[in-house]
Structure formats: C-alpha cells, structure tokens
A and B are shown apart, each in its own frame.
Chain A
C-alpha cells in the first residue's frame, strides 16, 4: 500500500524567511496530494492541494510542487508570519484506492520566530 514520508519533523524559521516541507510517496498510482495545517487544539484544515496532472500550484504565499518521476511533493511558504506557526501534514491517495485511502505523513511542526 501507499506510504508517505515527511521531512523535517520540526522546522524553525525567522519571520519573513521561506519554509519548505518535503514529502515522498511510494505508490506511483497516487494522483491527489493535499496539505493540511493544524493549529493547536483544532482539527486539520486544507490549505492547498495538487493533482498529478499539474506540476505546481500557488495560492498567495503558499505553493506546492509535484515531481511524479521522483515521487515527491513539497510545500513552500514564502514571507512567513507568526500565524503560520502550526503542524503541517502532507497526504497522498492512489487512484486505485477509494476515497477512504488518504494516507498522511507524520507532520512537520513549523515555528516562525518574530
């Protein structure tokens, strides 16, 4: 089955710097890659997603890139702000699986220092 590895587990940056979180997946049939942000005491919230027919997607300060050949995808946050501090999860799902087969990485705790 699918396996998703996420790195780093913790990341500390200065306000205004960029942050990059990387994930790799094992199933070449995976075709949907969402990123979730989880603030303390709350449930994860979708911030951006990408499908396998697209190489890059941007939404203001957030971008996701996908390399299908290497089976990895990355989250890029530019001009980080203290409110970006949270735990970020990547996930992947195979087209062979059902909607219930979304596999999550173990998370990255991002700290943005003012």
Chain B
C-alpha cells in the first residue's frame, strides 16, 4: 500500500489565486482529515470527513473548501489565496475503530507559500 499520497509537494501561489491540494489513500479508510502546520504551533484541523459525501468543519476552516466524492480522495480547495494560508498542509486518514477513535495515518505534506 502507498498509504496517504499528497500532491503537489511544493507550490507557490500569488495572492488571490486558487488551487486544489490533492489527497488520496489506498487503505480503504472511512475517515480523512486536512491539517495545517505552522512553525511552533502544532497541527490545526481544517476539515474532516467520516465517509464519502460527508464533510465537517474543523478548528480553522475559513478560506478553505473540501469535497469527498469517493472513499479514496479528499481534495482541499483554496479559492482566494492569502498570505495567512502560507503553511504546510497534511492530509491524514484513519479506519473506524471500537470507541470511535483510531490512529491517524499522515501523508508527507504540501508546502504552500502565498506571496
């Protein structure tokens, strides 16, 4: 299994441009997540999905959109890029588990710079 695959690895955007960060997983996990990581700030949840067709906001959803049309894919959309969205973005997935909590499997991230 490839696990969680994110593309692209790096991207530079101009203010106001839009882009989609791609994420796909081949582990048949129900749950998928998008986090952003800023220096010294840990990981903040942007959006998550408990299955195809279902998405929900996390802690920092403003400026982002997601969709989940298949179990495998969970793209993150930035419509009007702003410098505050400069960050490293991580996609993750997890299987359903007893008690509703299971470990997250992360991709290797997309480093985005908005100038």
Interface residues of A (CB under 8 A from B): 6, 9, 31-32, 34, 36, 41-46, 49, 51, 89, 93, 95, 98-102, 104-107
Contact = CB atoms under 8 A, between A and B. Distances in A.
A104 B90 CA distance: 13
B102 interface: yes
A86 B102 CA distance: 23
A104 B60 CA distance: 14
Interface string B14-49: 000000000000000001010000001111110010
A73 B71 CA distance: 34
Nearest to A49: B103
A43 B108 contact: yes
Contacts of A6: 42
B101 interface: yes
B40 A9 contact: yes
Interface of B: 4, 31, 33, 40-45, 48, 50, 56, 58, 90, 92, 94, 99-109
A50 to B, nearest CB: 12
A41 B108 CA distance: 7
A72 to B, nearest CB: 17
A95 B108 CA distance: 28
A93 B103 CA distance: 11
A25 to B, nearest CB: 13
Contacts of B45: 100-102
A91 to B, nearest CB: 8
B41 to A, nearest CB: 6
A44 B103 contact: no
21 contacts: A42-B108, A42-B109, A43-B92, A43-B107, A44-B43, A44-B104, A44-B106, A46-B103, A46-B104, A46-B105, A51-B99, A93-B101, A98-B100, A99-B31, A99-B48, A99-B101, A100-B45, A100-B48, A100-B56, A102-B45, A105-B42
A102 B103 CA distance: 10
A99 B104 CA distance: 10
